[in-house]
């Protein structure tokens, strides 16, 4: 492999909510951060794939709620980002791509940028790298390069790309095709000039900024204002909220790509999946070897006389059993179960919308809630009391805070906690406990080198997470 003279800067988009993979993917912890296939998260696999001699350090775009998840997961795989831009609100991919391009252009307008979602599966990193190499000369010549996946089935859940010819090498793009019906997908599969749209783009900062000036000029002033008003926060760059809020919610495809006339397509014939639904997870599990009778079941699931089913449990205490099922997917977590026909995988987002309209917590949140210092999960929730398990990372600390409506009792079950209650600081070790009265100003820290685990018992008339008055926070949360 010969690396390009100018390394490509990967821009990883990691702010999506992944509603089609509910209940494992939810707004509070979406699919890109979960280990849906293998032991790494999709985000980690994407960052690892786009590292090495071809690439510079990645630029990450994400939301405020995920900023510490991003840095923690990158640290776990030894990847240091060039920066993390925090979007004040979800505005789809067009504003995010423009913000990345304008940010990088301030250092070098000819920076090569590879924009990629962070939730795709591409097992062969080197094969994808060779595809990037094919696109680099085109991007340096002012083309916008998109990557088309060689289709293997008449997929109706993807957009497609029509090429100007059926040659094996890079070719000009004739048009984008919206998600087709089954008959149209069958015809495109037979044609040979159509590829799946991967939503991955390569260009210089100068080229894409000019494309916005030509096709979507209204985006430029508010995104520039958001960058000009950005603030630094613990190593993150927070884009200014007010101009960002004025931006339309629009994808890069609709805003620019479908209007541009300088697009080229690089074919990618190796395996790829966007894991856009549970049917994709079912197929992914059979890439190397088809499952017996099409049954994909994890270690906490049992299939009896079933055909073409996905049985999955993401909770250690939850066993899933299917008997006589056909073309069905069953996915269980500790607080929700999805049962659906395999052909309705794209409709799972409707379930999320229905639950959300009824105010059901499971629509967007898990029992386990991730925080920059660690995580907690609710074990028992009753009238006027709640029991939580809390895990604090080594060296981490919760904010200095108080509560108006609840008192807390902490029992350390592993590690050591340094606890501040008003003016008193106490070391609390395993099997010891401490009481935090209602209204007391308190903080919990882990001074050790191993995770600290404790059980928290809350009592009071209101137990919501918004009953927190913060006086000091090392993570700069308001």
Give average pLDDT by consecutive 10-residue segment, the chain, 478 residues: 70 90 94 92 96 96 93 95 95 96 97 96 95 96 96 91 85 92 94 93 98 97 97 92 95 95 95 93 93 96 98 95 98 96 95 96 92 93 95 96 97 97 96 96 96 97 94 85
For 8, 42, 133, 295, the CA distances from 265, given in Å and listed in that order, are 17, 25, 13, 36
Q: Which residues pair with 278 in a beta bridge?
A: none
Q: Which of 228, 227, 226, 237 is nearest to 476 (CA)?
A: 237
Tokens linked to 58: 């990645």
Q: What's the confidence (pLDDT) of residue 245?
A: 94
Count Cβ atoms below 10 Å from residue 302 Cβ, excluding itself. Answer: 13
Report which secondary-structure segment, H or E, holds 351.
helix 348-357
Rounded to whole angstroms, how far apart are CA atoms 237 and 60? 10
Q: What's the confidence (pLDDT) of residue 157?
A: 86
Q: Which of 371, 369, 445, 443 is nearest to 402 (CA)?
A: 443
* Neighbour-count burial of 357, counting CB atoms closer than 10 A to its CB (0-12 exposed, 13-18 middle, 19+ buried): exposed
Rounded to whole angstroms, how far apart are CA atoms 420 and 452? 16
- Residue whose structure tokens are 């939850």: 318
Q: What is the pTM (predicted TM-score) of this model?
A: 0.89
Sequential DSSP letters for 438-457: TT--EEEE--SSS-EEEEEE
Domain boundaries, the chain: 9-268, 278-357, 368-472
* Sheet with strand 326-332: strands edge to edge: 295-297, 307-313, 326-332, 337-341
Q: What's the confidence (pLDDT) of residue 5?
A: 54
Q: What's the confidence (pLDDT) of residue 107?
A: 95
Q: Which fold has domain 368-472?
A: Jelly Rolls (2.60.120)
Which residues, other chains included, contact 233 with Cβ-Cβ below 8 Å and sequence gap of 6+? Answer: 86, 476
Rounded to whole angstroms, how far apart are CA atoms 434 and 457? 11
> Does the domain at residues 9-268 carry the CATH identifier 1.10.1040.10?
no
The residue count of the chain comes to: 478
Q: What's the confidence (pLDDT) of residue 478?
A: 66
For 15, 41, 122, 287, 417, the CA distances from 272, given in Å and listed in that order, are 21, 16, 5, 10, 45
């Amino acid at each position: 492999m010969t690396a390009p003279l100018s390394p490509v800067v990967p821009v990883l988009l990691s702010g999506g909510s992944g509603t089609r993979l509910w209940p494992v993917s939810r707004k509070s912890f979406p699919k890109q951060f979960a280990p849906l296939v293998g032991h790494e998260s999709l985000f980690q696999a994407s960052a690892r794939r786009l590292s090495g001699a071809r690439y510079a350090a990645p630029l990450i775009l994400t939301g405020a709620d995920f900023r510490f998840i991003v840095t923690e997961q990158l640290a776990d795989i030894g990847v240091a980002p060039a920066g993390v831009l925090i979007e004040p609100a979800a505005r789809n991919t067009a504003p995010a791509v423009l913000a990345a391009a304008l940010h990088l252009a301030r250092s070098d307008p000819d920076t090569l940028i590879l924009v990629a979602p962070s939730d795709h599966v591409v097992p062969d990193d080197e094969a994808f790298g060779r595809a990037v190499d094919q696109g680099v000369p085109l991007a340096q010549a002012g083309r916008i390069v998109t990557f088309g996946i060689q289709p293997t089935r008449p997929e109706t859940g993807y957009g497609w790309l029509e090429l100007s010819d059926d040659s094996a090498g890079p070719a000009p793009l004739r048009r984008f095709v919206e998600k087709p019906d089954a008959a149209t997908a069958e015809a495109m599969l037979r044609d040979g000039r159509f590829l799946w749209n991967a939503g991955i783009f390569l260009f210089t900062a100068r080229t894409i900024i000019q494309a916005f000036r030509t096709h979507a000029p209204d985006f430029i002033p508010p995104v520039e204002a958001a960058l000009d008003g950005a603030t630094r926060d613990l190593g993150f760059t927070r884009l200014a909220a007010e101009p960002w809020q004025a931006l339309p919610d629009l994808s890069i495809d609709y805003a620019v790509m479908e209007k541009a006339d300088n697009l080229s397509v690089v074919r990618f014939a190796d395996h790829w999946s966007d894991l856009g639904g549970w049917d994709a997870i079912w197929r992914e599990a059979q890439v190397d070897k088809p499952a017996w009778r099409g049954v994909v079941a994890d270690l906490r699931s049992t299939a009896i006389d079933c055909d073409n089913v996905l049985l999955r449990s993401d909770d250690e205490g939850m066993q899933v059993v299917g008997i006589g099922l056909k073309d069905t997917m069953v996915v269980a977590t500790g607080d929700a179960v999805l049962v659906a026909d395999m052909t309705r995988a794209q409709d799972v987002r409707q379930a999320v919308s229905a639950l959300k309209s009824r105010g059901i917590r499971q629509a967007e949140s898990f029992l386990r809630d991730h925080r920059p210092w660690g995580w907690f999960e609710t074990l028992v929730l009753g009238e006027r009391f709640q029991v939580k398990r809390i895990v604090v990372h080594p060296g981490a600390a919760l904010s200095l805070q108080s509560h108006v409506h609840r008192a807390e009792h902490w029992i350390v079950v592993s590690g050591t906690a340094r606890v501040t209650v008003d003016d008193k600081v106490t070391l609390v070790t395993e099997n010891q406990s401490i009481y935090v009265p209602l209204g007391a100003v308190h903080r919990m820290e882990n001074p050790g080198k191993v995770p600290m685990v404790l059980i928290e018992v809350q009592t009071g008339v209101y137990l919501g997470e918004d009953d927190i008055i913060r006086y000091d926070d090392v993570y700069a949360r308001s």
